[in-house]
C-alpha cells in the first residue's frame, strides 16, 4: 500500500511475513529492512494473537506507515527500527 499522506518519517510500502516472526519491509526510499518481532511478541501480553503464525502472516500497512493486524495489534512507523536485524 502506498499512502498519499505525507509524514516526516519514511513509511513502509511493502511488508512480507517470513518464518520465526520476521518481516521483510521495503521503505519509501527503497531501503530493505528485516524485522524480528520475537522479542515484542514474547514480552508483551497485548501481542498474544501474533503467536499464531497464520494470524501473524496477515500483517498489513496502515495509512501512516505502521504495521497492523485485524484485531488491533499495531506497531508505530517510528518504532519499526527497534526490531530491525542488523
- pLDDT, one tens digit per residue, over 24-80 is 999 999 999 999 999 999 999 999 999 999 999 999 999 999 999 999 999 999 999
CA dihedral 34, 70, 57, 48 (to 10 degrees): 80
Q: Full-prediction pTM beyond 0.85? A: yes
* Domain 12-83 fold: NE0471 N-terminal domain-like (3.30.2020)
* Count of alpha carbons within 13 angstroms of residue 66, beta-carbon side: 11
Q: Nearest-CA neighbor of 14 among 5, 31, 33, 27? A: 27
Which tops the pLDDT comparison, 28 or 4?
A: 28
Amino acid at each position: 500500500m502506498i499512502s498519499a499522506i505525507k509524514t516526516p518519517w519514511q513509511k513502509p510500502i511493502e511488508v512480507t511475513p517470513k518464518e520465526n516472526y520476521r518481516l521483510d519491509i521495503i521503505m519509501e526510499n527503497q531501503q530493505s529492512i528485516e524485522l524480528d518481532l520475537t522479542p515484542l511478541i514474547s514480552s508483551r501480553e497485548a501481542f498474544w494473537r501474533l503467536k499464531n503464525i497464520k494470524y501473524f502472516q496477515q500483517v498489513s500497512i496502515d495509512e501512516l506507515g505502521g504495521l497492523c493486524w485485524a484485531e488491533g495489534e499495531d506497531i508505530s512507523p517510528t518504532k519499526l527500527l527497534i526490531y530491525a536485524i542488523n
